[in-house]
Amino acid sequence: MRRSFITLLAANALSVTGTMLSLLAVPWFVLESTGSAALTGVAAFSTTFPIVVSAAFGGTLVDRLGFRGASVLSDLAGGLVVLAMPVLTWTDGLSYPALLGLLFVRWLLATPGETARKAMVPELAALGDVRLERAVAAYDGVYRGAAMVGAPLAGVLIAWLGAGALLVVDGVTFLLSAVLIGGIPRLEGGVSERGGYLRDLRDGLAFLWRDRLQLSGTTMLVVVNMLDTGVTQVLLALYARDVAHDPRAFGLLAGAVGAGALAGTVGYGAVGERLPRRLTYGLCFLLAGVPRVLVLALGAPFPVALGVTVLSGFAAGAINPILGMLQYDRIPAPLRARVIGTMTAAAYAGMPAGGLLAGTLTELTGLTATLYAFAAVYLLASLPPFACRAWRELDRDDPAGVTRRRPGSAGETR
């Protein structure tokens, strides 16, 4: 019965690959059709803002529709919207406002599908007799691997086929994902009978507010995602230009984090069930942020900086699997999608400010001072697992107990 879990991984790999294709194809598509960097920036906003909105409010709909049904519907609708972009361009023409509208709808529809697939992991892992630690690590590893492959593949396909044809490929990946998920057995029902939409949404928010451990973890992610955005979009580019004097350093440092994280996820999947969760999470969170920024601030030789960055990425690979275990272990199945969606929206909410913060602070204080400041905030954000009482609950979790649950009881709060 592991076929259903493997099917979920394959569907998510297709969807994530399509997402990466779209993230590169759309800016190129806009630049080709408008020639304006400013309009390309507005299009980028139209792909990020709806993710936050959809993650915050779409999770409740996922719980009401059921995980499988919501995933299929999201992929079908999102795929058709993506296909409409090149089709309209090649036929009657696609105006820029219409393109923005389609982009907004496309990302508004895509996020609930991602939430639904993530919410299916515990039941399908139990059905396939896969330990939950390994299932969560496999899911995150496939996500990271597909993202790594999707970006360079998009560059090749743009040069070979053009941005419009690449959007067709993107749309097809979503349709194939819908077909695969549609073949998975239905393991859950909706919760529409429990009340109206606003009441369901409020129940999810209230649950997260009461769970101090997950609330603390979400707050850590808000801060660190904001910092990561500033580092990736601004500080690494400045380091490559002003310190390494080589634009290739930008790409190598950014890629090193992803490669290290993929290896770290695979490693955690192999041995994670034997590691103490709180200590592992705290140390990995600390090592994922502070060293890779501090080594740049210290002006270390580039090979040293690259090596430290790979190790920081490796440490980051354990973070998402442990967070996934935390979510599946503590969130009741009927609330799972809306709580995960709320956490995702919060984690994304601070990202737009990261680039602004990094750029402004660098203008005021210089690159080195900004790197030291970011390293200090990374350090402060990593302290809760060591200092906050709520995190001791992570030590009392019994991973084997989570894995032994059957699909009908997975995710119950203990």
**What pLDDT was estimated at residue 228?**
87
Handedness of CA 150, 359, 356, 215 (dihedral sign): positive
pLDDT over 60 at 49, yes or no: yes
What CA–CA distance (Å, rounded) separates 74 from 109? 5
Q: What is the mean pLDDT of residues 188-194?
A: 47
pLDDT band at 262 (very low <50, low <70, confident <90, very high): confident
What CA–CA distance (Å, rounded) separates 408 from 411? 9
CA 261 to chain CA mean position, Å: 13
379-409 confidence digits (pLDDT tens): 999 999 999 988 988 876 544 333 333 333 3
pLDDT over 80 at 257, yes or no: yes
Q: What percentage of the chain reaches a pLDDT higher than 70? A: 90
Q: What is the mean pLDDT of residues 182-186?
A: 83
**What pLDDT was estimated at residue 382?**
95
Average pLDDT, the chain: 82
Q: Name the least confident of 35-39, 153-157, 172-176, 360-364.
A: 35-39
75-128 confidence digits (pLDDT tens): 999 889 989 988 888 887 778 888 888 888 988 888 888 888 988 888 888 888
Phi, psi of 275 (to 5 degrees): -100, 145
